[in-house]
Amino acid sequence: MAKYAIYKSETGYYYYEYHDTLESLKGSGFEGIIDESKLPVVIGGGGYFHFTGNDYMFDRIVECEGCPLTLEEMYFKNHKDFKLGWMSPEGDTYSCDYTSHTKLAAKLAEKYFPNTMLPERALGKAGWLKIIDSWDGVQREHGQYVYSLTGKITKRQADRLFDLGLYNNEEVQRLIKDCEDCW
């Protein structure tokens, strides 16, 4: 059974492998690199760092087989402070930070469209909206931009975008105008 250190961010929880014995390091690729004096450690992203219980945003240690967090724990679903992420055709939101849309898309596709080769495209073709930070290096300010691969929006998505304060975005108004006859 593996141990994981769970941390909390503004958009969800994330985890690292947690090791507090040399025995647990077997098969990790860090045997012989980490000695007893460096324990406990957390491993992730190709590296490791010393663990202390007062690490920034540390939440808890979990012992389990497989992934220690659900999709909805890693990417908060319908969170009251939603800013960026993906929105289902039913209007459900999944939060991520401005660099994690691709990772989130992979997890969503794993759940809703198993075995797809292109997760972002699969979500887009199925009517999911991508809410991104619109800053592209030319603009002077960051903002929220709603992208639809199909150029369509559902009534539930429009209603949810209203609740999120994105209803009056230029691209949202265009999507609504193009789809009003569909509702």
Considering 21, 54, 69, which residue would you say is the last residue of a domain?
69
Q: Which of 43, 69, 95 is the last residue of a domain?
A: 69
- Do 58 and 31 sit in the same domain of this protein? yes
Query: CB-based contacts of 9: which residues, under 8 Å, 6+ apart?
Result: 57, 97
Q: What is the DSSP letter of 34?
A: B
Question: What's the pTM value of the predicted model, to 2 decimals?
Answer: 0.88
Q: Let me know whether 81 and 49 are in one domain.
A: no
Q: What is the pLDDT of residues 68-105, one digit of tens each?
A: 999 999 999 999 999 999 999 999 999 999 889 999 99
- The parent domain of residue 142 ranges over 73-182
Identify the burial level of 4 via C-beta atoms within 10 angstroms of its C-beta, where 0-12 means exposed, 13-18 middle and 19 or more buried: buried
pLDDT, tens digit (0-9, with 9 covering 90-100), for 126-173: 999 999 987 666 666 778 899 999 999 999 999 999 999 999 999 999
As a whole number of Å, the CA-based R_g of the chain is 20
